[in-house]
Structure 1
Amino acid sequence: MARLVDFVYNELDTRPSYKMDYPEKGLCLILNMEHFDIQGYPRRTGSKKDKKTIKETFKKLGFQIRTEDNLSCKETEKVLLEVATEDHSQRSCFACVILSHGNEHGIFARDKIFTLKWLVTFFSNSYCGSLAGKPKLFFIQACRGEEYDFGIEADGPSDNAQGLAPQILTEEDILYVYSTPPGYFAWRNNVNGSWFIQSLCKILQEHGKNLELMQILTRVNYAVASDYESSSGCKEMPCIVSMLTKELYL
């Protein structure tokens, strides 16, 4: 038994993790869309609270912060080009947080919709060489449809992995963390911010420097699912889609 235990611990000690001791931790790009020119998409009140909390959290983790507000699609493209063509060779990773309206087709800039696939392409290994082999993290607070999750009384496990897989890039070293699975509404409080972003930042501040990222995100899932419920009885469950190839300790 002792030999088996020793073997397990040795295996855990040698699992590969991303190199995170470059001179700089990395850039965190925040794309905050609060005001829209599109009919039917009102102001996202509460988004300023999310933006403030994200800036504080990622700064404490050692990230440089760049914030862009209410960009048109063309302006978004200009910012993405600027960031993607920067020299990231002395940085350990890259993070992007998107706060906006969304639906099953994509995410909204101030004036029109764009796809996550389009945005992430700017940071793919083939386009942004100085981030090749490094973790690229995307956190998306946006609706992905209009369905509401009222929860159910479960009597067994379910597996819907096929439905959760995004039809996007297959590049390595990319992580997507959505506020909700495809098809569902994402909740946001007009004063306190969104359920997902506030839970993410709280747990990153508590454990960001001592737990592996997937452990952190599992705790975020639990916090959102258990701590929040709308006045109409709706719940929310974040959705993690990982193409990371190593463990990540921020």
Structure 2
Amino acid sequence: MNHPKRGTAVIFNHVNFSLPECSKRDGSDKDRDALTDVLHELDFDVIVHNDLTANEVLDVLVTVSQMDHTDADCLVIAVMSHGDDGKVYARDRDYPTKTLWKYFNACICPSLAGKPKLFFVQACRGRGLHSSQTLRYKPETDGYSDDAYYSIPIMADILVMYSTVDGFYSWRDPSSGGYFIQSLVKQLRLHHETKDLLTILTFVNREVAVDFTSYEPKNPKFSGRKQMCSIVSMLTRLLYFTNNKTIT
């Protein structure tokens, strides 16, 4: 992270929808504001979009992919909306979740080649409900150093973190926001100066998995449920948000 600029962070916040099947997402503005604040603290140039249509989301993604990111460390795209299996909702319709990173591979966006491209998705991925089970486990870590000269696949250096695993609901408190985004903000703020990103996101995984249990007194079916975030990492380096922690 030793470029002149940290980079661009784009937040798509969806609260209101024109679709009858999509209810208002009360509490999402708290997630938007909290995430905006912590990204500013990390020196990102933050762009916030509220309640865009699918075509408007696509236009923003294309525009950002065509920007010159030569002087930037990385890119962040965050989406907070309703979702289902393989799709996320804009104000007027759904679109494939993979559209979010479609325009940022090394061929389409060469100024971000070899740089981290981070995607955070706060949305349901199905209608499954997590039950709870008591267990013990011991975390492990691993790492390696790469060669000085190498070639990379065009989809390298992309990380996607979902608020839930495929097929399951994602939970949001109407008064305090989504548990995933709130934990992400908290852990970034606590550890960005000392820990690499995947370690921080593992802390998010654990906090959401262990500390969160749904409480819906008016609907017992939805009470006592758990949530498990999901990380899909194609990063090829350890990512630190401090200049003196860059590892090659």
Residues 186-213 of structure 1: CA distance to partner in whole angstroms, max 9, x if unpaired?
0000010000000010010010121011
Aligned to 2:160: 176
Offset of residue 156 of structure 1: 8.5
TM-score, with length taken from structure 2: 0.86
Q: Distance in 1 between matches of 2:98 and 2:80?
A: 16
Asked if residue 81 in structure 1 is aligned to residue 62 in structure 2, the reply is yes
Aligned to 1:9: none
Aligned to 2:71: 90
Aligned to 1:128: 109
Asked if residue 199 in structure 1 is aligned to residue 180 in structure 2, the reply is no
Would you say the 8 A contact 1:170–1:243 is kept in 2? no
Q: Distance in 2 between matches of 1:170 and 1:37?
A: 36
Residues 122-152 of structure 1: CA distance to partner in whole angstroms, max 9, x if unpaired?
1111111111110000000000001110122
- Show structure 2 runs of 5+ residues with no match: 139-152, 216-222, 242-248
- Show structure 1 runs of 5+ residues with no match: 1-19, 158-168
Q: SS at 1:140's partner residue?
A: strand
Offset of residue 170 of structure 1: 7.2
Would you say the 8 A contact 1:47–1:99 is kept in 2? yes
Per mean C-alpha deviation after superposition, the further-off stretch among 32-41 and 134-143 is 32-41
Q: SS at 1:175's partner residue?
A: strand
Residues 77-116 of structure 1: CA distance to partner in whole angstroms, max 9, x if unpaired?
1111111111100000000110000001300111111112
Offset of residue 154 of structure 1: 4.4
TM-score, with length taken from structure 1: 0.85
Would you say the 8 A contact 1:27–1:64 is kept in 2? yes
Aligned to 2:82: 101
**Could you tell me which amino acid in structure 1 is paired with residue 239 of structure 2?**
L
Aligned to 2:53: 72
Q: Distance in 2 between matches of 1:105 and 1:199?
A: 23
**Could you tell me which amino acid in structure 2 is paired with residue 223 of structure 1?**
E
Aligned to 2:2: 21
Offset of residue 118 of structure 1: 1.9
1:238 to 229, 235, 242: 229
Closer, same or farther: CA 63–156 of 1 in aligned 2, 3 Å: closer
Asked if residue 219 in structure 1 is aligned to residue 200 in structure 2, the reply is no
Would you say the 8 A contact 1:61–1:209 is kept in 2? no
Per mean C-alpha deviation after superposition, the further-off stretch among 99-108 and 115-124 is 115-124
Task: Give the length in aligned residue pairs.
Answer: 220
Q: Distance in 2 between matches of 1:68 and 1:131?
A: 22
- Identical pairs, percent: 39
Asked if residue 144 in structure 1 is aligned to residue 125 in structure 2, the reply is yes
Q: CA RMSD in A?
A: 1.6
**Could you tell me which amino acid in structure 1 is paired with residue 64 of structure 2?**
V
